[in-house]
Structure 1
């Protein structure tokens, strides 16, 4: 029996066709049948003139649900052409953290819309916007379920029902005193297992993981990941619960952090969040290229300084690419290990051990590679001295390349800069210079034996 396979592209094209014909009812029928993620994909693909039809064809509630599946820049880009009244309704139906993130991207237009909101909505959003960028306070949501420690389980169920429609997540009940201080946490699962007459304060967990408003979002992400949490409470200096950060927001943040670190690791300081012009991309990449260009000139100068050695034994030039590639590859591997450890805070107390371990790894790789290369040269060139030069060079170069690949990002991190700026091309160029110097120094020393 044939299975009915849903064909997204064909279905999307049907939606685009009815939208072009301004068939509102058919558009709504086709679009709202889809999962919200797929609805978001349809809206992303609309031509600008068709995007303007959204506020006529969809209610603010329906559109707000779809926006949750888009990143902040996409949200701001979609809403910029809508009427302020429609945008205001959408903001009122979005979670507070998502709405604040989007408003932060809209500039003066966002401030104008903010002034049209109710006093409570405006106060909530202004509080989130006031926190430093990438802090726990800036990414938290204020929509959570709270109960009193004096409530019974039966009363708590009623409170959950009342608060659930506006809460972003209901896996946890946050037990607060009259001043909003967080006393404990109770999971919904545990709530279901308790007798109706039991007091919440008697069964809540008083030992809980939390973060502070000013904590960096990476710390929040690490806590949620390490303790396998669905949400993390965010407290102020008086232990008052100000909001929670949910795991779905953290997943987006981790993706952004990985993208940022990958770009910096590759010596690319641009972003994929918004379209950039050719000039913007060239301008952000040019500084790295210029720096690497001058460092490359050092390699050229180094080769020129050993011109006499090369003239006497021309075959040495044939192995320069092997030395440079091997040094760069091993150094980049160590760099990846070091940067990962620093980003995940795994090396705070064992920097020395990490450097020593990478050095020993480099020695093992260098010894093996040196032996293999020496044997190959003996077989094909039948020159024992040349084999010795290359073998020693590879051994020393790979051993030291692991140190540079490990030490440079750790040093930069110590200086309070992002370790990812010690990019692959940067480390590769350093190790190229190191490898060439070792190679020609050993060759010059043993030249009389060749």
Structure 2
């Protein structure tokens, strides 16, 4: 009997000659394997009452064998192949030929004229939006890379060569993320289209990811962080405000960029982020130091919506700093610092806050709570609103370091050393604090 373990072994070490392996569980279900082709599920069956003749005119004994392809492993799993075959057996027992049903559906369906744009619309509506938290990333990839290149094309007319060439172009001219995400989402959509019967095969099968994501380790030194803070203040609303709030809260970009009026609890000095807007899916409470609360309280009044950081008067969130604003932020920070800064991103600000809080002897578990990482065990479920003051105290300690001109009580304090060297505590921040 076939098992997932046996089939993974076949993928790792395919046979030198073509073989047809019976499932052993569902009669007529086979896996065709060979040295050059991907393992393919086939279903061989006889319909009750059917008949025919051989090519020489010899009559068959009241039976005619049919064979259907059910998909390619591992894109169609063992369980899925058995389920498909079992449904067809039920039809066969009633004298219904699955092959005829498939032909009828193909004639009634317009799948032969599907374009990638049509597939993308259906894929986003029925699969991505209701099931995946990465909907925003998917929309970005389809809008920027997949639709402009292949949108009006038939999916089955795409060749491996042109896909590989396009991924190489994205890798060299855009970014590693653009190439990786384009291949990932295009292949995922086509696998979905095959499984749902919209197309016959996925032309991307066999194309590997063009690169691998590597965990970033960039941590801004205190001198760099102070320069970025100062320039962000000069830039003002909305981009500069967004950057300063990121630095005061250690939040992810999405959480601060999407903050709405109803999320801000001024009484308890915190932001209550709904689970649907948070990466972990959990309702999360973000502590606000006095400076962060002051910034939120003095934002421009939005007339057209509830989003506090917006370039459309509150109708839509800012989402991110524009490329031109980010370039100005980096260029002016370097001028203020008096030297060239190594490449950094907005997400590196979150890692920077976590790293320097650890340098200031903040407990690692408390840092995890500040970052909003999911804490294991029952405590994570029942104690969402606990540790609010502890998180605020940890962020206040960091804020005093970032803004050395004032102490936690609002008075002046000593000027710390203008540390211009990034500080990393072992490998801790390359793993635990990178999300």
The TM-score normalised by the length of structure 2 is 0.27
More helix by share: 1
The TM-score normalised by the length of structure 1 is 0.26
The structure that has the greater radius of gyration is 1
